[in-house]
């Protein structure tokens, strides 16, 4: 059970745009939450510098050299900072068993296309929009889903549709979808905090 006032951790590999929007919403009084920690697997991630300048605890935990050790370190650091709900903000690594065990049902990711049809390994960023355009579907969208062991396969908890317009390219569709994502993440977290959107119980902690 998540306590009143979300205690958030963030994962980012690059800019962390959703994390920025969420922290800004907290500081503007638009979301009852406490941003506890941002972790990146990339030492050069702009999100790390931004987080430190914003007064948010920020750590780099590289994943390639020691995936098992980095997974255990990530789970431990999130727990040590009192994180109850993890937001993936452009984090391009699959989570390991230690983190998923501790935060089962408590890790959220945003995906820039309909799931499950346009998800999976390697399906991120413009690749998703290229696939949507190539498929000729009339509608794309933004999905927020729970994270599990497989890329983009966890249950979707919130969706927002985006019409594919005549003459759309991957670039124009990407621009419209990307513009929606940060505010939609904030809105979804607000609904979770307010009890309007219920995450599965119980969380499995390890």
Please tell me which residue in 81, 111, 129, 145 is annotated as part of the active site.
111
Q: Note the pLDDT tens digit of each residue in 183-199.
A: 999 999 999 999 999 99
Residue 206: the pLDDT is 43
Per-residue pLDDT of 128-139, as tens digits, reads 999 999 999 999
Q: Positive or negative CA dihedral for 172, 173, 176, 177?
A: negative
Fold observed for domain 6-193 = Rossmann fold (3.40.50)
Which two three-digit tokens encode residue 187?
């809105």
Query: In this model, does residue 106 exceed pLDDT 60?
Result: yes
157: exposed, middle or buried (C-beta count within 10 Å: 0-12, 13-18, 19+)?
Answer: middle
Residue 4, pLDDT > 70, answer no
Burial of 49 (0-12, 13-18, 19+ CB in 10 A): exposed
pTM, 2 dp: 0.92
How far apart are the C-alpha atoms of 21 and 41, rounded to whole Å?
Answer: 20
For position 2, what pLDDT does the model report?
A: 52
Predicted pLDDT of residue 122: 87
Give catalytic status of residue 111 as yes or no: yes
pLDDT value for 203:
46
- Residue 5, both tokens: 């006032």
* Average pLDDT across the chain, whole number: 93
pLDDT in tens, 48-65: 999 999 999 999 999 988
Rounded to whole angstroms, the Cα distance separating 169 from 55 reads 39
Domain coordinates of the chain in residue numbers? Answer: 6-193
Per the CB < 8 A criterion, the answer to whether 86 and 107 are in contact is yes
């Amino acid at each position: 059970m998540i306590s009143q006032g979300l205690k958030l951790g963030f994962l980012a590999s690059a800019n962390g745009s959703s994390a920025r929007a969420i922290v800004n919403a907290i500081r503007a009084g638009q979301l009852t939450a406490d941003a506890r920690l941002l972790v990146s697997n990339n030492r050069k991630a702009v999100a790390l510098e931004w987080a430190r300048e914003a007064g948010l605890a920020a750590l780099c935990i590289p994943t390639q050299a020691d995936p098992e050790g980095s997974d255990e370190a990530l789970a431990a650091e999130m727990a040590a900072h009192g994180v109850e709900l993890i937001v993936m903000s452009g984090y391009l690594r699959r989570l390991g068993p230690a983190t998923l065990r501790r935060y089962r049902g408590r890790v959220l990711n945003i995906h820039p296309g309909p799931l499950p049809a346009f998800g999976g390994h390697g399906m991120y960023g413009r690749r998703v929009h290229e696939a949507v355009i190539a498929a000729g579907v009339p509608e794309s969208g933004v999905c927020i889903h729970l994270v599990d062991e497989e890329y983009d396969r966890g249950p979707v908890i919130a969706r927002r549709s985006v019409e594919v317009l005549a003459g759309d390219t991957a670039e124009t569709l990407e621009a419209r979808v990307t513009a929606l994502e940060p505010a939609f993440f904030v809105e979804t977290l607000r609904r979770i905090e307010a009890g309007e959107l219920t995450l599965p119980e119980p969380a499995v902690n390890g």
